Amino acid sequence: MSVLVVRSVSKSFGSVPVLSNIDLDIDEGEIVSLLGPSGCGKSTLLRIIAGLEFADAGAVEIGARDVSRLPPGARNIAMVFQSLALYPHLTGRENIALPLRVRRMSRLQRILSPLRLSASVRTIEREIDDAVDDLAARLAIGEVIDRVPARLSGGQRQRVAIGRALVRDSRLLLLDEPLSSLDAKVRVQARDEIVQIQRSFGVSCVFVTHDQGEALAISDRVAVMLGGGIAQFGTPAEIYRNPASLDVARFVGSPTINCLEGIVDAQGRVHTGGFLFDTRLAEPVGRPVTVAVRPEHVRIGPAREQPGHMLRVVRVEDHGHDGLVHLALGDGGALSLVARSAQAVALRAGDEVPVSIAPEEALYFSPAGMPLGPEPVRIADYARG
């Protein structure tokens, strides 16, 4: 069952369109990332889902209920902000308890509760305390729960923020780049923690990030957002291996995918500046085609059946477990490629090496950026399959 459905949502700020016709559908217990470069509208979409902005057109449904016109507090969602947005003068316990106090007590009770007048309020207070203790223990912050945020470490603060979000049993958790404030090492750890917490609480997540490594690593599905629209919505594998457009192929993957301009010949093969791709494209002769090749599919070394090309090594980046080799043909740099190779360490700038690319590992795109293929993969089947 869908926890969140976004139906043809559009939004513009003044005359600047930010989102156009966004559709999104998120299942129970799923982590979905909104991945895109800054300015692609991913944060705006998240804010529309949260109710912090209102869409110009379209609808947002949470748990089969149209919430498009409801204020954020009435949507039964939780959100972890980029800055975490903990209340600085409240302790961790008070931060986590606040949403519960709002839900379980009337405004008057909240104001008068420090006076400890009524027995029923005291009972509610005790229940809230117990619930917070419980959650704090599950998040392993029981020891530090009574400190104010300024006296917590980055990771602890993040767990308090997640605790504040989880405490009200929302079915949907929104995360707006919650890891961007952490340094690289803590980041990976915090990322794993979020996944673990999410799995153990079974809550659905929408996770906004501009970091594709993060998105591909933790998501069940990724929505790649480019220029205010969803360019592709699929599993990480699908997005990496079968990008829906050249733009998606270029955006996802690091380093960026290699692109070669080529022409289709009579047999459906593609000729590029240096390479011949022996494939069978169902395209007319003379049609220009863009061939995109992931760096790990550029092979360095003597080819078995493919005719290899001698390219010059321009620069080598050693990444330890493997390396990147920047290659060029000729001096003018008419052709330049990046290869990911375990043998990178053995190469030096200026070396001439044979390079080959298997045609079945390359991706082919029309001039409009649409994928072409001898045997098109049906994305819908792949996604559900």
| Residue 354 lies near other proteins (rule: CB under 8 A) | no
Give the bridge partners for 260, in sequence order: 291
Structure token digits, residue 196: 């673990």
Position 107 contacts other proteins (CB under 8 A): yes
Choosing from 52, 217, 303, 383, the residue that interacts with other proteins (CB under 8 A) is 52
Give 34 or 78: the residue with its C-beta nearer to other proteins: 78
Cβ 195 vs Cβ 29: under 8 Å: no
How many other CB atoms are found less than 10 A from the CB of residue 192? 12
Kindly state the smallest distance separating residue 219's Cβ from other proteins, in Å. Answer: 23
Toward other proteins, which CB reaches closer, 70 or 316?
70
Q: Which of 37, 39, 71, 288 binds other proteins (CB under 8 A)?
A: 71
Output the smallest distance, CB 2 to other proteins, in A.
Answer: 21
Instruction: Tokens for 45, please give them.
Output: 């979409």
User: Could you tell me the smallest distance in angstroms from the CB atom of residue 72 to other proteins?
Assistant: 5
- CB proximity list for 381: less than 8 A, separation 6 or greater: none
Cα gap 294→69, rounded to integer Å: 44
Tokens of 205: 């997540």
Q: What is the dihedral of CA 210, 148, 111, 121, to 10 degrees?
A: 100
Q: Closest distance between other proteins and the C-beta of residue 138, in Å?
A: 20
| Site mask for other proteins (CB under 8 A), range 73-102, x = bound | xx--xxx-xxx-xxxxx--------xx--x
Stretch that binds other proteins, among 47-55, 118-126, 193-201, 312-320 (CB under 8 A): 47-55
Please list, in sequence order, all residues whose beta carbon lies within 8 angstroms of the beta carbon of residue 194, skipping any fewer than 6 positions away: 162, 175, 178, 179, 205, 207, 218
Which residues in 174-233 contact other proteins (CB under 8 A)?
none
Is residue 340 a contact partner of residue 297, using CB atoms and an 8 Å limit? no
Q: Of these, 110, 171, 269, 271, which contacts other proteins (CB under 8 A)?
A: 110
Contact call for residues 323 and 345 (beta carbons, < 8 A): yes
Q: Which segments within 189-266 are labelled E, that is strand?
A: 204-209, 221-226, 229-234, 258-264
Helix (H) or strand (E) holding 9: strand 2-13
Interior angle at CA 358, CA 356 and CA 362, nearest 5: 115
Is the Cβ of residue 74 or residue 117 nearer to other proteins in the bound state?
74
Q: Which is nearer to other proteins, 83 or 153 (CB)?
A: 83
Stretch that binds other proteins, among 5-13, 30-38, 44-52, 138-146 (CB under 8 A): 44-52
39 belongs to the binding site for other proteins (CB under 8 A): no
Q: Looking at beta carbons only, is 52 or 59 nearer to other proteins?
A: 52
**44 class by beta-carbon count within 10 Å (0-12 exposed, 13-18 middle, 19+ buried):** buried
Candidates 2-10, 15-23, 65-73, 250-258; binding stretch for other proteins (CB under 8 A): 65-73
The structure tokens listed for 302 are 């003597």
Binding track over 146-175 against other proteins, x by CB under 8 A = ------------------x-----------
Instruction: Determine the Cα–Cα distance for residues 343 and 321; give it in Å rounded to an integer.
Output: 10
Closer by beta carbon to other proteins, 89 or else 122: 89
* Number of residues located near other proteins, criterion CB under 8 A: 25
Instruction: Note the residues at the interface with other proteins (CB under 8 A).
Output: 50-52, 71-74, 77-79, 81-83, 85-89, 98-99, 102-103, 107, 110, 164
